Structure 1
């Protein structure tokens, strides 16, 4: 997989966002870059490998003329069941450890990190505000706060926010209130999306959109389309990002994006019958890889 920009150009994006944070334009902005590789294996085979390598609760395979999506999303944008609304923001990431002891130490590092805790609290508050637009007054509640969810290559801080849908609010209204998700845009949303449009040099496409199902009984479940391979024009595109705040380290944020990409890259390798190394190639041709 080749990065559209490489480490240093991504770090420049982070530095630009940090200047906007310093100037008061944004509190947190999700910055992403795109990885590209030849689509040498069919999406169905890739999805089968994804389900083995990195099971995720909001996965899916969509095939359309000219474009296919293989999603292993861990994040719930919105669940609607009758008048119950829920969203589960993810904010805070660490790689998995090689041993149980290392994994536990990384979990402690994540849960004790003041930067991660502050960022998570801010984004949970943003989701509370979004649900509050379409919920009965006083019904919005943080049902679960800062749990740890583990996947094959990363662990995340996750919270669950719930509300009771107002009678005058349709399912579509509820989706509109939370879309796009705050964790993959930032706060405040409108200005932050302008900053994203400025610093990212390629369009996001399906990335950070939503894939979901709607029933005829006022039920719906929608993911946030992250950890998702897009096959278009003979290539796989995998976009990954990180949340940037005032004390973000540009190189550490870049490394976090690679941690998030690793499971999907491993799945493509497995689908190809090759358990080789994970590598990201910069435009200059240098490789950064880990087994």
Structure 2
């Protein structure tokens, strides 16, 4: 039975022009991965998942494919693809994205998940160049878009609490539609949802026992970087000169690594979500690029009028037992350098939210708490505010992008120095990935701990925060170690699933079973 009812949708049509409708299916023997693998080979598809606090699966996972609209933007050129037809525009991509989303008015219904359709994709690091006088990087070898978003009005939602699948569609209400037109649109959406439900049941894989396990260690092979070690060390020294001169307090300098691989990106995602579960996990397939990541850090979340950002700064490995774990947590909390850097980034987050929040509403909800994940622990704070009446989630987003944790402080001067020293454009790295809901909600994370798959190569970029007393060799090693954590997942996936193994052959989050259609 669909919810809301036909007559409820007709009643809402006077105020809204896009109304979500959902049916529920029992899914106690399903997983999001098994569902998503049916769509992973399509031209465009997405999977969004989350583990809260590193230990508990968030309530919802979101899956979608076959967007009805696609928008991309690069260097002032915008392309909009709708119903197989493309239109070209010039201007600021975010403004066009904003205009497209504002044509939809959708209710936030209590019985629905926070996302019932909208735009899913990424914002590049260099997006702020449209709004501030910032220098361009000397090179842009990857040539990634400044924005790329898929508009989806049908979403598969996996409800982990109720062990149900919600199939969500949206009734489009056109100007001048009569009540009967709306009822017919409702019937069409329900038929589409029922067809999707039948397709899921028809394609349900059957399982065969498979004993393949996760290898404890793998050879990393040939890893290449976009700069030499000497160049990175020199960049750190130059950044410290800027700090001593008073230009900045901190700057995040990165390098980009790549390896060649033929492994299925879906297998890599499965390894990552098992070995490094995070608050933001994503698999985005958009034409020739596949973006896979497990980011621990939110950029900004908008729920109704409430804003939240969660700065992360300060990391320690997990201990071998409870006593060592606590000792490492205490050491992190007592580290004056880590505390000073964290405080600076919390202040930056407060300033970012303050520009778009009602006066006096910005506050620090939690401060310097330890959040533990499978392999590391982080020092995390939470800053919130109430969105001003004359602002929307785009204003909140632009105020926070890029995060101070991947740029520096003061932000604009740090970005100028990054462009000077790194030279190659960051592309998606250090930008944001997430969803922009038709109903006004937004959730986005910083694009870190992320792999970009393109034409037989996998790219991983990682940075380190440089302050006045940074040791160049240690900062270099930090970038290498961060990148290796992601690159290792690729090598593990290669060992577990040789290139002759198709992504559809072996699907289960714990690797204990083999599935064949």
- TM-score, length-normalised on structure 2? 0.51
Q: Which residue of 1 aligns with 2:514?
A: none
- More deviation in 4-13 or 112-121? 4-13
Which structure 1 segments of 5+ residues have no match? 276-291
5+ residue gaps, structure 2? 1-222, 498-517
Distance 1:101 1:44 in 2: 37
Q: Greater relative contact order (Cα 8 A, min sep 6): structure 1 or 2?
A: 1
CA contact (8 A) 1:30 1:186 kept: yes
Distance in 2, matches of 1:94 and 1:23, equals 31
Q: Which moved more, 1:249-258 or 1:218-227?
A: 249-258
Match of 2:459 in 1: 237
Equivalence map 1:51-62=2 (5 Å)? 51-62=273-284
**Residues 12 and 95 of structure 1: CA distance in aligned 2, closer, same or farther (over 3 Å):** farther
Are residue 194 (structure 1) and residue 416 (structure 2) matched? yes
Report the structure number with the largest CA radius of gyration.
Answer: 2
The reply on whether 1:257 has 2:479 as its aligned counterpart is: yes
Which residue pairs with 2:437 in the alignment? 215
Aligned to 2:178: none
Whether contact under 8 Å (1:153, 1:259) holds in the other structure is: no
Distance of 1:93 and 1:113 partners within structure 2:
11
Change in 2 beyond 3 A, CA 1:258/1:149: farther
Superposed counterparts of 1:35-46, under 5 Å: 35-46=257-268
Question: Are residues 155 and 255 of structure 1, via their aligned partners in 2, closer, same or farther at CA, if it must alter by over 3 Å?
Answer: farther
Give the equivalent residue in structure 2 for 1:269.
Answer: 491
Structure 2 counterpart of 1:150, from 364, 372, 376: 372
In structure 1, what is the equivalent of residue 124 of structure 2?
Answer: none
- Higher share in helix: 1
**CA shift for structure 1 position 69:** 0.5
Asked whether the 8 Å contact 1:229–1:237 carries over to 2, the reply is: yes
Q: By how many angstroms is 1:98 displaced?
A: 4.1
Q: 1:205-228: CA deviations, max 9, x gaps? A: 110111101212221100000000
Native 8 Å contact 1:37 1:236 kept in 2: yes
The alpha-carbon deviation at position 249 of structure 1 amounts to 1.4
Match status 1:185 vs 2:407: yes
> In the TM superposition, what whole-angstrom CA distance separates every residue of 1:216-269 from its partner, at most 9, and x where no partner exists?
222110000000001123211100111111111112222222332343223212
For residues 1-291 of structure 1, the aligned pairs below 5 Å read 1-273=223-495
Q: What secondary structure is seen at the aligned counterpart in 2 of 1:68?
A: strand
Does the aligned pair in 2 maintain the 1:78–1:87 contact within 8 Å? yes
What CA RMSD, in Å, does the superposition of the two structures yield over aligned residues?
1.7
Q: What is the CA–CA distance in structure 2 between the aligned matches of 1:16 and 1:202, rounded to whole Å? A: 17
The whole-number CA distance in structure 2 between the counterparts of 1:57 and 1:178 is 19
Q: C-alpha separation between the residues in 2 aligned to 1:95 and 1:9?
A: 28
Shift of 1:171: 1.3
